[in-house]
Amino acid sequence: MSSALLSESKSQISVIIVLVGIFILFTIGSPQTFLSYNIYYSFMSTIPFFAIMALSLTLVVISGEMDLSFPSIMGFAGWVFTVIFHRTGSPGMALLLALVFGLGAGLMNGLLIVKLKLPSMITTIGTQFFWAGATAVVSGGLGKTLVPAKTSAVYKLLVGRLGGLVPAQMIWTVIIAFFIWFFLNRHRFGAHVYFTGDNPESARVMGVNVDWVKMMVFTQMGLFSAFAGVLASLEVTYYWPTLGQGYLLKTIAAVYLGGTPVDGGVGTIFGTFIGAIILGCLEAGIIAIGMTGFWTQLIYGLIVIVSIAMHSILRKR
């Protein structure tokens, strides 16, 4: 086993240990809550919205770039879905156009960064403001109901309940995680993403189309952000113009918590998946064991810092 694979395995084991430790702590602190299925049903209903974006963002970070525009793309895609649904009565058409918008928004990020040689972080801060402003303008700050969509097949497919017990959005998260993992680890494109993040100049010498790889990782980020926006809107059967707000730091933290470093070239989908679960259960667990919600961000920060330090130590070893 190569040193890189060994480091990756240790990183994945470490994040699993963090997850198990947190759940043991919460179960001891509030057994009536964490030995009940209801809390896990709640986790499966809410974690997918940022977990899907974190899984997608992992590709961007591995490629050595960063995207900060995804919360606003998520919000505008929710508006596209809602408006098209109300005008056509077709949730299928609304979903398709929302995803097309996401692809276009992601591709726009990629083109700005690749063709104009702009820094990805600064560029996506700009597009984050742009799409957030566009959402506020077109929606007028007003939400819309999506209750009529509850009778549709699209609703049942995307956020229905499998056997009445498992939210469909959790199934979609697992499917997307496997899909991205497959392309990252079993497809030439994934190897090119790693090469690009590790050393773009060397990747070019090896024949990798670095510009195309970067455009594709930003494009898929836009697509999955739009999909998450549709899921979140359907889950609550209402579109809020503030959709996407509050997901930025949690999504990025899930990626870093899962062992993907900021400098690119390294990272795992499995680690991000576990990182999203850890962050998704913290707030409920903190409150369940009797602490106030004010502790949430403090503990988020501690866990992220400790986890990143642990991953860094393991990689050096």
The 10s digit of each residue's pLDDT in 240-270 is 999 999 899 999 999 998 989 888 888 999 9
What mean pLDDT comes out for the span 74-92? 97
pLDDT in tens, 202-237: 999 999 999 999 999 999 999 999 999 999 999 999
Given pLDDT bands bounded at 50, 70 and 90, which one contains residue 193?
very high
Structural contact between residues 267 and 261, judged by C-beta atoms closer than 8 angstroms: yes
What's the rounded Cα separation, in Å, for the pair 211 and 192? 11
What mean pLDDT comes out for the span 279-293? 83
Count of CA atoms in the C-beta half-sphere (13 A) of 166: 9
Count of CA atoms in the C-beta half-sphere (13 A) of 283: 11
- Among 7-21, 255-269, 289-303, name the most confident range: 255-269
What's the rounded Cα separation, in Å, for the pair 233 and 95? 11
Asked if the model's pLDDT at residue 96 lies above 50, the reply is yes
The pLDDT value recorded for residue 1 is 37
Structural contact between residues 145 and 240, judged by C-beta atoms closer than 8 angstroms: no
The pLDDT value recorded for residue 302 is 84
What mean pLDDT comes out for the span 103-130? 97
The pLDDT value recorded for residue 14 is 82
pLDDT in tens, 125-179: 999 999 999 999 999 999 999 999 999 999 999 999 998 899 999 999 999 999 9
- pLDDT, greater one: 304 or 258: 258
Range 3-316 has CATH code 1.10.3470:
yes
Structural contact between residues 251 and 261, judged by C-beta atoms closer than 8 angstroms: no
The pLDDT value recorded for residue 192 is 97
What mean pLDDT comes out for the span 19-38? 92
What mean pLDDT comes out for the span 62-73? 97
8 membership: H or E segment, kind and range = helix 3-29
- In the block, which residue shows the tokens 């408006």? 83
Hey, is 144 helix, strand or coil?
Answer: strand
Given pLDDT bands bounded at 50, 70 and 90, which one contains residue 3?
low
